[in-house]
Amino acid sequence: MSRTYDRDSVEFSRVLAFTDGLFAIAMTLLIVAVTIPHLSDGNSIHELADALNDLSPAFVSFFISFAVIGRYWLAHHQFISLLQAMDQGFIALNLLYLAFIAFLPFPTALLGEYFENPLSIVIYAVSVGIVSGMEVVLFRHAHRRNLLRRKLTPEVYRFGVIASLSPLVFFAISIPIAFVSTTLAVLTWFFTIGLGAMLERRAPEGVESLLG
């Protein structure tokens, strides 16, 4: 007998304001992890260039993470556009999903500091994988409790689950690869975006709005 909140209610929009605030902070905090280098001669161009060069893994991991978290935000934005209402269970699950989003600055900073350590890659891939898993949990809950604007056909529902889980495959594959080459493992992650585009082309009718 959980209460539900319509799309027009103050309560529906509060959940989104909270979610968007948390995403915005998690994405902006990524840069705080990049500390300003200490130079022996502050005016030396050469020394600063060297120091910034040493920071390049940190910049790479900032932009990768901004892209990865940004992609989850886009998927969340698109997913919520399908909802007509939220119930208490959905709000609690969304909070759990956000706990893992809020955690992401840590594996990102780890990756920026120890880019060539396979364990950094594993921790990053697992963290991001959990977020993809939580996406499916949210989608499943919304489907079962009739929170979606339109009832989905079983085929469309199954397709949505697969589309949400597909990044998991690439993040899972990247784990053994990390022990061979961490750069190769990170490149694997970029296939996720390609996969999304490929899936979109093979989508059953009426599904276009389900892909994040």
Q: Which of residues 24-43 bind a copy of itself (CB under 8 A)?
A: 24-34, 36, 39, 42-43
Residue 126, interface with a copy of itself (CB under 8 A)? no
For residues 10 and 17, what is the distance between their CA atoms, to the nearest angstrom? Answer: 10
Residue 44, interface with a copy of itself (CB under 8 A)? yes
Task: State how far the alpha carbon of 100 is from the alpha carbons of 2, 30, 32, 130, in Å.
Answer: 25, 14, 19, 7
Nearest to a copy of itself of 70, 204 (CB atom): 70
Candidates 78, 146, 153, 181: give the one binding a copy of itself (CB under 8 A): 78
Task: State how far the alpha carbon of 46 is from the alpha carbons of 19, 41, 49, 50, 193, in Å.
Answer: 43, 10, 5, 6, 37
Residue 60, interface with a copy of itself (CB under 8 A)? no
Nearest to a copy of itself of 37, 155 (CB atom): 37
DSSP per position, 33-79: TSPPPP-SSTT-HHHHHHHHHHTHHHHHHHHHHHHHHHHHHHHHHHH
Under rule CB under 8 A, how many of the chain's residues touch a copy of itself? 71
Instruction: Tell which positions 96-125 bind a copy of itself, by CB under 8 A.
Output: 98-99, 102-103, 105-106, 109-110, 113-114, 116-120, 123
Judge whether 122 and 172 are in contact, CB under 8 Å: no
CB of 21: closest distance to a copy of itself in angstroms?
Answer: 4
